[in-house]
């Protein structure tokens, strides 16, 4: 067992469970990256047709929603980085902390502006 401090409370956490969350986050991140690469929004952006713009909107929205869900789930093991990432999507962490986040689809509103983009993992 490992002891984690959160909100000035000490709780036991199973190291295996934490490792599994990290592995699942890494896999989800790879899948999001593959989705973006396969859909190539930089190419879709060159298509001015109505159909092309709808496809571009769909790809960008799906990618942003996936990133949002990734960092909401990751808030359990990376609260600081998750808060920065969600802040970039202009999602405020509720007063009750991450427990108040709702894991629902299409939480981002159309026309919602993004916040400042944070460098989450700077190169060393």
Q: How many CA atoms lie within 13 A of 117 on its CB side?
A: 2
Q: 5 has which bridge partners?
A: 10
pTM of the model: 0.74
pLDDT of residue 112: 78
Quote the CATH superfamily of domain 24-124: Isoleucyl-tRNA Synthetase; Domain 1 (1.10.730.10)
Q: Write the pLDDT tens digit of every residue in 1-20.
A: 444 555 544 455 566 777 78
pLDDT in tens, 48-100: 999 999 999 999 989 988 988 888 888 777 888 888 888 888 877 666 655 65
Helix (H) or strand (E) holding 2: strand 2-6
Segments making up each domain of the chain, as ranges: 24-124
- β-bridge mates for residue 10, sequence order: 5
For residues 106 and 59, give the distance between their C-alpha atoms in angstroms, rounded to a whole number. Answer: 13
DSSP three-state, residue 57: helix
CA–CA separation, 95 vs 75, rounded Å?
14
């Amino acid at each position: 067992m490992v002891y984690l401090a959160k909100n000035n409370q000490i709780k036991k956490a199973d190291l295996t469970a934490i490792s599994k969350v990290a592995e699942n986050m890494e896999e989800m991140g790879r899948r999001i990256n593959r989705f973006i690469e396969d859909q190539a929004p930089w190419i879709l952006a060159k298509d001015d047709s109505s159909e092309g713009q709808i496809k571009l909107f769909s790809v960008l929205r799906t990618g942003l929603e996936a990133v949002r869900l990734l960092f909401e789930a990751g808030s359990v093991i990376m609260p600081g980085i998750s808060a920065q990432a969600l802040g970039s999507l202009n999602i405020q962490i509720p007063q009750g902390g991450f427990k108040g986040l709702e894991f629902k689809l299409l939480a981002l509103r159309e026309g919602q502006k993004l916040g400042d983009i944070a460098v989450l993992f700077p190169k060393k």
